[in-house]
């Protein structure tokens, strides 16, 4: 009887968007997609992730496993597997203590900020790392966010490790020192602490946060109706800053995934988002030598379509190029393997942060000026990149190598045109900004 009820429930869910899938069961289907699973996907009642030649993850409501049993579909329960490996990982309180200790130890370059609380009231910590950390300087802004899928924990450990290493090596390691002195870096190791505590993908409301951001079809990238509280805090945080490059960490395979996730159209800067992905993948031996993904990178939608993801939202609404980094085959590897993951990702994490300097911007020497800037690439190719809004008297965008004209327009003033140059592998003091009177 239960089985019949489940299939009826599936039918009634058919008209809902995938964003409304409640996650109560987390399964791994072995092998290719059987017809019955294709039907579930089409009906919008389940969610798929990490498709590979070995199988894929399937998420859905209670009764899904029983339904698959009745159809003889082979699977295993991922939550049961996670529980075994989970025991040694730090708790949210321990992660908090580590971040507070780093902020206390390196107060000249680190400031710990809470951008709000999770459904269950846990602080959503972000570490700001920059010289003159208490001043909001005009410098290119970069961010890392990890573990919006609570059970994909490797990135949480790696980003906490990165914060600690940046603190310890500031002043002695030239790359780290250069990044800290000339950029504003924000690192959020744990976007879904409730999910991590429960060893599950979804937040405490059973929602997949990476299917819950405003879609590209939304008229307003800040609309909060139907958006989970963790995402609302990230959205507010993003709208108050000027990020131009980001990445978010996941687990379940090893690959750098670039936009778009939600449409087969190519990103207007497709070559650049591929180069950015390579800047991470090429320094990670396991990623770059992937047998599944050429050079360890993939277009998001080519792999599988995701709607309501953070990556596309950030790129589309905020001019903040973001890629998705899958850093371990196992979502919860043995805790003793974390130092190995840190080692194989460390140079990639540093190198990717540096890419925020592959760009150009301007600042106006009068406060609170807003307006628009039209960007044209002049060489090596001629390309119209469209128009972007700016506020607080500054603007910055990560761009492909070349020469550009920026036409800056503020209200009631004649437009000003400036010529700017973008080079790879060059860090300009406090960023490549042109000062306008």
Q: Which is nearer to Zn ion, 182 or 248 (CB)?
A: 248
- Name the maximum alpha-carbon separation found in the chain: 74
Q: Which is nearer to Zn ion, 146 or 355 (CB)?
A: 146
Label residue 173 exposed, middle or buried (CB < 10 Å: 0-12, 13-18, 19+): middle
Q: Which is nearer to Zn ion, 327 or 427 (CB)?
A: 327
* 145: nearest Cα among 390, 301, 309: 309
Told to judge if 326 belongs to the known catalytic residues of this protein, a careful annotator would answer yes
- Give least dist CB 148 to Zn ion, A: 7
Residues 6 or more apart whose CB falls under 8 angstroms from that of 43 comprise: 10, 11, 13, 14
CB 214 within 8 A of CB 207: no
What is the 3-state composition of the chain as percent helix, strand, coil, each rounded to the nearest 5?
Answer: 35, 25, 40
Q: Which is nearer to Zn ion, 128 or 201 (CB)?
A: 201
CB 423 within 8 A of CB 400: no
Q: How far apart are CA 300 and CA 260, in angstroms?
A: 6
- Give least dist CB 299 to Zn ion, A: 17
Q: Which is nearer to Zn ion, 153 or 373 (CB)?
A: 153
- Give least dist CB 152 to Zn ion, A: 5
Residue nearest to Zn ion (CB): 250
Distance of CA 216 to the CA centre of its chain: 16
Q: How far apart are CA 193 and CA 196, in angstroms?
A: 5
| ω into 401 cis (within 30 of 0) | no
Q: Which is nearer to Zn ion, 47 or 141 (CB)?
A: 47
Q: Six-digit token pair at 40?
A: 């579930």
The dihedrals phi and psi of 415, each to the nearest 5 degrees, come to: -65, 150
What is the binding site for Zn ion (CB under 5 A)? 149, 152, 250
- Give least dist CB 215 to Zn ion, A: 18
Q: How far apart are CA 407 and CA 374, in angstroms?
A: 5
The dihedrals phi and psi of 224, each to the nearest 5 degrees, come to: -105, 0
Of these residues, 141, 228, 326, 410, which one is catalytic? 326
Strand ranges inside 118-188, DSSP E: 123-129, 141-146, 184-188
- Give least dist CB 315 to Zn ion, A: 17
- Give least dist CB 331 to Zn ion, A: 8
**Which residues have a catalytic role annotated?**
326
């Amino acid at each position: 009887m239960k089985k019949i009820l489940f299939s009826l429930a599936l039918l009634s869910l058919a008209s809902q968007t995938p964003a409304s899938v409640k996650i109560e069961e987390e399964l791994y289907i072995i092998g290719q997609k059987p017809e019955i699973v294709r039907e579930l996907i089409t009906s919008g009642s389940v969610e798929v992730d990490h498709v590979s030649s070995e199988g894929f993850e399937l998420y859905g409501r209670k009764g899904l496993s029983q339904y698959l049993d009745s159809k003889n579909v082979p699977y295993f329960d991922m939550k049961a597997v996670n529980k075994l490996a989970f025991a040694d990982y730090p708790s949210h309180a321990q992660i908090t203590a580590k971040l507070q200790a780093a902020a206390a130890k390196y107060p000249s370059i680190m400031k710990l900020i809470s951008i709000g609380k999770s459904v269950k009231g846990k602080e959503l910590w972000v570490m700001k790392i920059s010289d003159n950390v208490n001043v909001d300087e005009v410098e290119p802004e970069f961010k890392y966010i990890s573990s919006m899928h609570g059970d994909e924990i490797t990135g949480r450990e790696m980003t906490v490790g990165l914060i600690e290493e940046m603190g310890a090596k500031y002043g002695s390691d030239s790359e780290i020192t250069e990044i800290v002195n000339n950029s504003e870096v924000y690192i959020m190791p744990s976007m879904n602490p409730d999910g991590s505590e429960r060893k599950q993908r979804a937040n405490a409301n059973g929602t997949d946060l990476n299917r819950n951001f405003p879609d590209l079809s939304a008229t307003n990238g800040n609309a909060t109706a139907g958006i989970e509280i963790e995402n609302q805090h990230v959205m507010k945080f993003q709208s108050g800053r000027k990020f131009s490059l980001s990445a978010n960490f996941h687990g379940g395979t090893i690959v750098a995934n670039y936009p778009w996730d939600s449409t087969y159209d190519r990103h207007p800067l497709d070559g650049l988002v591929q180069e950015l992905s390579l800047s991470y993948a090429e320094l990670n031996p396991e990623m770059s030598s992937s047998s599944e993904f050429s050079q360890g990178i993939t277009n998001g939608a080519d792999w599988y379509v995701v709607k309501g993801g953070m990556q596309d939202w950030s790129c589309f609404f905020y001019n903040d190029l973001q890629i998705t980094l899958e850093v371990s085959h196992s979502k919860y590897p043995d805790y003793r393997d974390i130092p190995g993951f840190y080692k194989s990702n460390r140079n990639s994490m540093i190198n990717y942060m540096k890419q925020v300097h592959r760009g150009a911007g301007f600042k106006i020497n009068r406060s609170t000026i807003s307006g628009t800037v039209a960007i044209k690439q002049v060489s090596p190719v001629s390309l119209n990149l469209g128009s972007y809004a700016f506020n607080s008297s500054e603007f910055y965008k990560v761009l492909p190598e070349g020469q550009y004209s920026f036409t800056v327009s503020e209200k009631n003033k004649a437009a000003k045109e400036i010529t700017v140059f973008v080079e790879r592998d060059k860090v300009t003091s406090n960023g490549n900004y042109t000062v306008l009177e």
